[in-house]
Amino acid sequence: MIPDTPLSSRAAFQAPWRIPDRNFSDSKVADSMEDPMANLDATMQKAEREMVKQAEVYKSPYERWKEAEGLPTVRGYFVKNLLKLELAPWKSSGDGAAAIINLEGTGGFNDAYVAEIPPGKSLKPHKHLFEETIYILKGQGATSVWLDENRKQTFEWHAGSYFAIPMNAWHEHFNASGTEPARYVAMTSAPRVIDTFDNHKFVFENPFVFEDRFNAEEGYFRESDRKLDQRRWQTNFVADVMACQMNEGGRGIGVKSLGFALVNGTMKSHSSFWPIGTYKKAHRHGPGIHVVILKGHGYSLMWQEGKPIERIDWEPGSVFVPPEMWFHQHFNTGNDPVLFLAIGWGSDKPKAGGKQYVYKSVKEGGDQIEYEEEDPAIHRDYEAALAAQGVTCRMGGKHPFCTARAEAA
């Protein structure tokens, strides 16, 4: 039996079966045992380098599709202003221009893109097997949606309008202005659909009709009056998100919110409002929730447990996506209330082990940090940020670390 000695010392071990009359020195024996190991190590290093090289040049079906579209891709944690984002000609759309947004927090589940329609022009009709929601950033125009070209439904929109395209329905966007471009931001499930099927004909030329989502019903794109509950509205078109009546309730002082259920799809979205001099509670969820700032100025903190904090300073037109399982917290530092629109899919993705996200205290096994549980430095830094803007904290006695005497909003 070979003694339990370190590998480095085994070369000199005199095995009982060693033939004594061979002219091998101990050093030669050591060399003969080390060379195979050195060769193995070199082989493994070469294989690792080859794997890294292949990973660097690999392009997923979705990445190849984007490349074929000839559009730039914006990456990172956030986009400062969608209205100022530089676009490139979108040849397959006809006269449009666009840029695709793949932010870190999507986890490959969804994406966003910004498109612009020139004055008096339209984008080519098209359809696709992935979901798409659209928020109008500026301009005015109309969209036609149809299954049968003889039964088109057309609705008008303007800045602040929000709607979704029923899956695999034909649609065409028009700019009604002859002098100003129209610009919109869309969030789609294209990455996981294109990567799954890796077949453009299947994704973009599929004849299947999702009758449970859209069957050319009359008035489909009129604003409905159907509320699923106090804070969720089932409608396929929202004329103006910023004018919607919202209901109290949410993570923080004076928070109001309203959820939108569009075209019977799997995408989820909601608007959230909170007052001057306040901020929301930290929480976490799944990937892919695109937060679009519609009104107000402030910042958000995002972090993994035990890791450094990422800070994002935002303004109207900003968008960011908190990564999966990252805590994030939103702060109003401006002289106006904040309003954002959150659009995504990944919030329904369960945590590891199949558990769902629960918005109760982390001390109770949930995914929300209560005010009294947060690092006191968070509120201290917030008060300093408010002071720099000449704004007073209004969280008062409703926050344990607040030094302001003002009543909570």
Share of the chain above pLDDT 90, in %: 73
The 10 Å Cβ neighbour count of residue 214 is: 24
Are the C-beta atoms of residues 110 and 129 closer than 8 Å to each other? Answer: no
Structure tokens at 382: 């917030």
Are the C-beta atoms of residues 111 and 344 closer than 8 Å to each other? Answer: no
Q: Under the phi-then-psi rule, with left for phi > 0, alpha for psi from -120 to 50, and beta for the rest, what region is 219? A: left
pLDDT given at position 52: 67
Structure tokens at 198: 């890796």
Segment 264-309, tens digit of pLDDT: 999 999 999 999 999 999 999 999 999 999 999 999 999 998 899 9
Structure tokens at 205: 């030329």
Confidence of residue 358 (pLDDT cuts 50, 70, 90): confident
Cα–Cα distances in Å, from 220 out to 152, 213, 266, 307? Answer: 11, 10, 18, 47
Are the C-beta atoms of residues 397 and 408 closer than 8 Å to each other? Answer: yes
* Res. 339: pLDDT tops 90: yes
Higher per-residue pLDDT: 22 or 170: 170
58 burial type by CB count under 10 A (0-12 exposed, 13-18 middle, 19+ buried):
exposed
* Res. 319: pLDDT tops 80: yes
Question: The whole model's pTM is what?
Answer: 0.84
Largest CA distance in the chain: 100
- How remote is the C-alpha of 153 from its chain's centroid? 30
CATH 2.60.120.10 maps onto the chain at 61-204, 232-398
For the segment 218-245, the average pLDDT, to the nearest whole number, is: 90
68-72 long-range contacts, CB within 8 A, separation 24+: 69/100, 71/98, 71/99, 71/100, 71/113, 72/99, 72/100
pLDDT given at position 320: 98
Are the C-beta atoms of residues 337 and 274 closer than 8 Å to each other? Answer: yes
What is the residue-averaged pLDDT of the chain? 88
Segment 125-141, tens digit of pLDDT: 999 999 999 999 999 99
Domain at 61-204, CATH class: mainly beta
Confidence of residue 20 (pLDDT cuts 50, 70, 90): very low
16-20, 103-107, 304-308, 405-409: range with lowest mean pLDDT? 16-20
Assigned fold of 232-398 = Jelly Rolls (2.60.120)
- How remote is the C-alpha of 148 from its chain's centroid? 33
Rounded Cα distance between 117 and 201, Å, is: 26
